[in-house]
Structure 1
Amino acid sequence: MTWKIILPLAIVCCCISCKKNDRVKVQQYSYVLPGDQFFPEGIAYDRSTGVFYTGSTTSGDIVAVDVETGVASLFSSGAKAGRQAAIGMKLDAMDRLWVCGGTANFIQVLDKDGNVIKTWDTKALFNSGFVNDCIIVNGYIYFTDSQVRKIYRTRVTETLPGEMEEWLSFTDQQIPYGTGINANGIEATPDGKQLLVVISNSGKLYRVNIADKGISEIALNTPVTSGDGLLTDGNTLYISRNATGLIFPVTLNAGYSSGYVGAGFGENLIGNTTITRDATHAPARRATQDPKWVRYVILAFGLTFLTVFLFVPLVAIFIEALRGGLGAYFNALREPNA
């Protein structure tokens, strides 16, 4: 038995490859993954290489798949990395892959070669239950927990990852939890001010204000039970509902207080989970989100350029002009041909 990832063309119609400076059309509706017990879950796309990554819920293996050729290769071995499962995942601006460990209760970050940079034991740190999905926004990465009413986060702008923190702990009155999978997929609003979280078992959708951590339910015309991966495109939120085999568009109002769930779409989807897209649609990364060393190098280069090509020539001109003293300088200015 082989496992396939299905890409609905309404979501992933084409990918961009920086190395080729032209569009790489996705000709395939599905990609064959190695092994018969892979059970893929999370997915992340690297625009610079034209490769997407997906992880196994059973082995923790992560494979890299070329979107043009469909060739899949092992990117990171779960056994070697001490990873029992690879659930939600995201790539950051430094080409590091962040991985959620599910019920194994860990978070890992890998370098571009698949090596583990750091592992956080979220069970020991926060008594977590099921680290499920993640989203990067404004220099931080946020993680949902499907069994414990918490959201974790850490910074992604530093060269070396910082400490993980229990960023938000909420009550059952704010977001009711039940049996099964609760908080699952997580996204950010286009303005980067709020987090969107879907609760799988109840089908409810919530928004969390990043500035003050305020929590509000988004009123929907119908529940989105089995909601899994989320993806925003303007005021449309796409929700992958794994038990339905469909992806549902939710049109959100301007204040994200309500949304209209439209008709689901998708063909040959079985247990569809997370969603990704070409990074060209993602919000531009701010310069302040670059690592400090990058900002210092750019600043130093700019100052050096101004010094060599502007300040030094100006100083040389004034030295030459004042070589004979101020009297000679002003006499030269009074010369008709000066």
Structure 2
Amino acid sequence: MNHYSALVGLCLVWLLGACVKDHVDGPIEVSLERYPIPGDNFFPEGIAYDSTAGFFYVGSIGTGDILKVNVQTGQTSLFSAGASSNRPTCNGLKLDTKGRLWVCGGTQNKIQVLNPDGSLLKNWDLTSFATTGFVNDVILSDRYAYFTDSQNQHLYRIDVSTDQPGEVEEWLTFTQDQIPFATTGVNANGIELTEDQKYLIVVVSTSGKLYRIDTATKAISEIQLNTPVMAGDGLWLDRHMLYVSRNAVNQLFPVILSTDYLQGTVGAGFGENLLFNTTMAKAGPYFLVVNGQLNRRMGSTPPVLPFTVSRVRIP
């Protein structure tokens, strides 16, 4: 192989590995077992990790604020205020290769993308598609951002390949026969993308079922599991190992997927002292797991303060 071919090969490897910024592991040490999150009404939910800089971003269901946290020191700073960005609540988060942060607006039925300095780049109001909605989670390919709606039976998509993102589209609509939704509770929740970007994987929290969606044909197939992953929330896919954060169970669960992503074997749960864990981001040999405590938000039991993000070693 000549020097030019070697250089091209290295560039291709880098591009494939860096198509989604917070899916790349870095050498920065994740120093703390628990990262305190200030605020007695924060109720964290989404997380995105910048492995090259050693910071993670965590968003608030309670205020819409997004904090930036140093994984070495635990120091927190306000990255984007919910009030000034017209964002009263914040669910799933993802970083793209341009350093922009994609934000799911939850029950506000909105999507936002923020510049690397925290300023608002663009806002999408989805009421033209559905009067009410619950934009819950997001995953990025090298061209698109895909979003789940926990209330309505469709997925949204936005072109993210240019400096100015495209318009939102109702990319996929499905039926009760294809992906059944319960009349109450959280339905379509976490979303992931296979390494070859051929399939999306979605978990439905109310049923504990997983679904494979072809990004080219939009064909939907249920992934046959040995046991359901009830209360499945955030997902993380590493080749054919899918990790499911099960909030009401207070643990993470590995699911070994077949090569065609149509079969899955659920393994033993792991993670100690988690508190209604919602989403997670991979940081080297660990997951950074959000202790959302959303089950304590409306009830008579107060949350355990301070709110935290836990470091959980991956078995």
Q: Residues 101-180 of structure 1: matches in 2 within 5 Å?
A: 101-178=105-182, 179-180=184-185
User: Which protein has greater RCO, CA pairs closer than 8 Å, 6+ apart?
Assistant: 2
1:210 aligns with 2:215: yes
Which letter does structure 2 place at the counterpart of 1:240?
A: S
The 1:97–1:280 alpha-carbon spacing in structure 2 relative to 1, beyond 3 Å, is: farther
Task: Give distance in 2, aligned partners of 1:248 and 1:277.
Answer: 14
| Matches for 1:9-24 after TM superposition, within 5 Å | 16=26, 23-24=27-28
The one-letter code of the counterpart of 2:221 is S
| Distance (whole Å) between structure 1 residues aligned to residue 166 and residue 172 of structure 2 | 17
Contact 1:126/1:166 (CA < 8 Å) preserved in 2? no
Q: Given the superposition, is the C-alpha separation of residues 280 and 271 from structure 1 closer, same or farther in structure 2, using an over 3 Å criterion?
A: closer
Alignment counterpart, residue 235 of structure 2, candidates 220, 226, 230: 230
1:54 aligned residue: 58
3-state SS, counterpart of residue 136 of structure 2: strand
> What TM-score results when the alignment is normalised by the length of structure 1?
0.75
- Give the structure with the higher percent helix: 1
Range 68-77 or range 122-131, more displaced: 122-131
CA distance 1:167–1:198, change in 2 (3 Å): same
Task: Give the TM-score of the pair, scaled to structure 2.
Answer: 0.81
**One-letter identity of the residue aligned with 1:258:** Q
Contact 1:145 1:183 in 2 (8 A): yes
| C-alpha distance 214-51 of structure 1, shift in aligned 2 (>3 A) | same
Distance 2:88 2:57 in 1: 17
Partner residue, 1:93: 97
Tell me, yes or no, if the aligned pair for 2:28 and 2:51 is still in contact at 8 Å: no
SS, match of residue 243 in structure 1: helix
| Distance across 1 between alignment mates of 2:97 and 2:29 | 23
- Aligned pairs, number: 263
C-alpha distance in structure 2 between counterparts of 1:31 and 1:74, whole Å? 15
- The 10-residue stretch of structure 1 (103-112 or 28-37) with the greater mean CA deviation from structure 2: 28-37
Whether contact under 8 Å (2:245, 2:280) holds in the other structure is yes
Gaps of 5+ in 2: 1-21, 287-315
Q: Deviations over 1:301-321 (max 9, x none)?
A: xxxxxxxxxxxxxxxxxxxxx
Give, in angstroms, the shift of residue 267 of structure 1: 0.9
Q: Contact 2:209–2:230 (CA<8 Å) still a contact in 1?
A: yes
Q: Of 27, 32, 35, which aligns to 1:28?
A: 32
The alignment status of 1:275 with 2:275, answered yes or no, reads: no
Q: Are the aligned partners of 1:39 and 1:58 in contact in 2 as well (CA < 8 Å)?
A: yes
2:255 pairs with 1:250: yes
4+ residue segments displaced more than 2 Å: 124-128, 278-281
Task: Tell me the SS of whatever aligns to 1:223.
Answer: coil
Distance 1:76 1:280 in 2: 29
Which residue does 1:191 correspond to in 2? Answer: 196
Please give the per-residue CA displacement for 1:170-212, whole angstroms capped at 9, x wherever unaligned: 0111000002100000001122100000000000000000010
Distance in 1 of aligned mates of 2:123 and 2:129: 12
Q: CA 1:280–1:27 in structure 2 vs 1: closer, same or farther (change >3 Å)?
A: closer
Secondary structure in 1 aligned to 2:83?
A: helix
**Higher Rg:** 1
| 2-structure distance, mates of 1:228, 1:63 | 21
Per-residue Cα deviation, 1:260-283 (whole angstroms, up to 9, x for no partner)? 0000000111010111124999xx
The secondary structure found in structure 2 opposite 1:175 is coil
Question: How far apart are 1:137 and its partner, in Å?
Answer: 1.2
Question: Which range is displaced more, 144-153 or 40-49?
Answer: 40-49
Give the superposition deviation at 1:86. Answer: 0.8
Displacement, 1:234?
A: 1.6
Q: 1:262 aligns with which of 258, 264, 267?
A: 267
Percentage of matched positions with identical amino acids: 55
SS in 1 for 2:39: coil
Partner of 1:326: none
Q: 2:46–2:93: 8 Å Cα contact kept in structure 1?
A: yes
The residue aligned with 1:37 is 41
User: 1 or 2, which has the higher strand percentage?
Assistant: 2
2:119 aligned partner, one-letter code:
N
Please identify, of 240-249 and 46-55, the stretch whose mean Cα deviation from structure 2 is larger.
46-55
Whether the aligned pair in 2 keeps the contact of 1:15 and 1:50 (CA below 8 Å) is no
Distance 2:53 2:202 in 1: 30
| Root-mean-square deviation over aligned CA pairs | 1.8
Unmatched runs of 5 consecutive residues or more in structure 1: 1-11, 17-22, 282-338
